[in-house]
Amino acid sequence: MSASQLQRVVTEIADELRTRTDRGTVASYIPELARVDAKSFGLAVIDRDGNAAVAGDADEPFSIQSISKVFTLTLALGKAGDRLWKRVGREPSGTAFNSIVQLEYEKGIPRNPFINAGAIAVTDLILSGHQPKEALGEILRFMRFLADDHSIGIDEAVAASEQRTGYRNFALANYMKSYGVLENPVDFTLGVYFHHCAIAMSCRQLAMAGRFLARSGRNPATGHAVVPPERAKRINAIMLMCGHYDGSGEFAYRVGLPGKSGVGGGILAIAPGTASIAVWSPGLDVTGNSRLGQLALELLSKRMGWSIFG
């Protein structure tokens, strides 16, 4: 399919969704996030040849929140390799993103790197032996490199808001710490965690950053491997299995693409070998995933024939 055809489909979808009123609820548990305009909608697709098709607010930055976990997982695998899997599992949890029950039944080892507990454990691994500022710098440099955009930064107000009110994450981190799953001081690890979740990016920037997962681990700009092809596949697999918390089955069923959502309303999705996609609509469904974002991806996957399931 040509780049112009892709752009036409993207525009169509944005147009169709513009008038939808069933947009779900904007996340309010992080007070700063609640201020966003509920009607925002952006969609950006980068195809395998590097062509971008965008629509709506595709260049407006939003809080990527848990989408950052795809990139911290990638970084941590680069540092620790398979050692990482001693501290975090890779199975769907069957529970909400912030559940602590599973930790008690499984000795402090989080089920996967995309539930909050797992992502905190991954951040702890990146931090290992460094100052929070250094670790955060490394994460930010990685994001800028992947997106090929040095303007990407952190929304300090969002980070501070989480730091003040993120009691549930403090509970998860202290719980893991009691089992020795975290190595660094809880405040250090959570400091980095809250900040990388507060990275602000546009759909276009996110789709750019996800290209290596659609291209067997290679950064198409440079042609160099960001990760080996095997690892790119595996990250895609974890995204499909665990990327939408307790709505992962639903996303696989309807969209059929590896994806990772954030409570800021963004979703990064990958059509392996074909395209990197980012969508943003702040209203969430009961499982904490962007309602229109999922719908947009369902339409896109269908119309482009991109489902990995046939």
Site residues (CB under 8 A) for its own copies? Answer: 89-95, 99-105, 111-112, 167-168, 170-175, 177-178, 186, 213-214, 216-217, 229, 232-234, 236-238, 240-242, 246-250, 252-253, 256, 258, 270, 272-273, 307-310
Pick between residue 14 and residue 88 the one whose CB is nearest to its own copies.
88
According to DSSP, the residues that pair with 52 across neighbouring strands are: 46
- Closest CB 17 distance from its own copies, rounded Å: 20
> What residues contact residue 293 under an 8 Å CB cut-off, 6+ apart?
261, 265, 266, 267, 279, 280, 281
Pick between residue 14 and residue 172 the one whose CB is nearest to its own copies.
172
Q: Phi, psi at residue 105, to the nearest 5°?
A: -75, -20
Residue 39 catalytic? Answer: no
Residue 69 catalytic? Answer: yes
Pick between residue 78 and residue 153 the one whose CB is nearest to its own copies.
78
* Structure tokens given for 65: 């929140």
Pick between residue 136 and residue 214 the one whose CB is nearest to its own copies.
214
Contact 262, 285 (CB under 8 A): no
Contact 188, 120 (CB under 8 A): no
Instruction: Give the active site residue among 70, 245, 255, 281.
Output: 245
- Closest CB 26 distance from its own copies, rounded Å: 19
- Closest CB 174 distance from its own copies, rounded Å: 4
The SS3 assignment for 261 reads: strand
Instruction: Give the active site residue among 69, 88, 161, 192.
Output: 69
Instruction: Give the active site residue among 26, 40, 45, 66.
Output: 66
- Closest CB 90 distance from its own copies, rounded Å: 5
Contact 262, 116 (CB under 8 A): no
* Structure tokens given for 20: 């939808």
Residue 66 catalytic? Answer: yes
According to DSSP, the residues that pair with 154 across neighbouring strands are: 199
Instruction: Give the active site residue among 10, 227, 263, 279.
Output: 263
> What residues contact residue 96 under an 8 Å CB cut-off, 6+ apart?
245, 246, 287, 288
Pick between residue 54 and residue 299 the one whose CB is nearest to its own copies.
299
Residue 202 CA to residue 42 CA, distance in Å, equals: 8
* Structure tokens given for 257: 């693409």
Q: Provide the 8-state DSSP code for 232.
A: H
- Closest CB 257 distance from its own copies, rounded Å: 10
Pick between residue 122 and residue 152 the one whose CB is nearest to its own copies.
122
The DSSP annotation for 90-152 comes to: -S--SS-TT--HHHHHTTT--S-TTSHHHHHHHHHHHHTTS-HHHHHHHHHHHHHHHHT-TT-
- Closest CB 41 distance from its own copies, rounded Å: 25
Active site residue ranges? 66, 69, 193, 245, 263
